[in-house]
Amino acid sequence: MTATATLAPLVDPTGRRNKAADSTLAPRPTSLRGLTVGLLDNTKPNATALLTAIAGELRQRYDVAEPRSYVKDYFGTPAEPELIERIVRECDVVITAIGDCGSCSAATVADGVLFERAGLPAVSICSDSFLMSARAMAGLEGFPGFEFIAVQHPVASLDGEQIAQRARGAMPEVLRILGVEA
């Protein structure tokens, strides 16, 4: 006589598994007029410049309020919960950048997912050379369809005009992800 072994389900000690099934987007605004845009800088070279250029485009074309800038402690990990909560309280939408290496691309996408789960529409910006890392993180976060922007690599070595061009080129995707018509 043989006994049939029953395997217990695997337990995820991080507690992330409970969040993994939630891939719902935060409600989208119908317009950006007067909204406060949060800019989450991950400290990578030219992240501030890219975010500032995108915010400038949004202010000029869509009459958003004065953007609010925030800086992460470290580019290679998701933002601290306290920072996420602060941005959610103070902003109507958030843009985070720049994922231009493996760990920072993954963290930039993780930040976007965390904002969406907290009810804040988010745009994460990575460079196209690190799409695999960014997509892998979206899957690990239980949100394989999470949409983010992939700008042309490199970003860190660009001058001001090149950053402005990247920002203008990203605008249609920023608007699409936020659900606002151009």
pLDDT at 121 over 60: yes
- High-pLDDT (> 90) share of the chain, %: 86
Range of the domain at 72: 30-178
DSSP codes, 67-103 = PEEEE-S-TTSPPPHHHHHHHHHH-SEEEEEEE-SHH
Q: Output b/e per residue, 87-99; b: 16+ Cβ within 10 A.
A: bbeebbbbbbbbb
Residue 54 CB neighbours (<10 A): 26
pLDDT per position as a tens digit, 146-172: 999 999 999 999 999 999 999 999 999
Report yes or no on 1 lying in a domain: no
pLDDT at 5 over 70: no
Report yes or no on 89 lying in a domain: yes
CATH number of the domain that 152 lies in?
3.40.50.10350
| Confidence grade of residue 24 (pLDDT, cut at 50, 70, 90) | confident
Report yes or no on 15 lying in a domain: no
pLDDT at 8 over 60: no
For tokens 């009810």, name the residue: 119
Number of domains in the chain: 1
| Confidence grade of residue 126 (pLDDT, cut at 50, 70, 90) | very high
Report yes or no on 21 lying in a domain: no
| Confidence grade of residue 15 (pLDDT, cut at 50, 70, 90) | very low
Rounded-to-integer distance, Cα 182 and Cα 171, Å: 9
CB 114 within 8 A of CB 124: no
Report yes or no on 5 lying in a domain: no
Q: What integer is the mean pLDDT of 59-84?
A: 97
Report yes or no on 62 lying in a domain: yes
pLDDT at 14 over 50: no
pLDDT at 6: 57
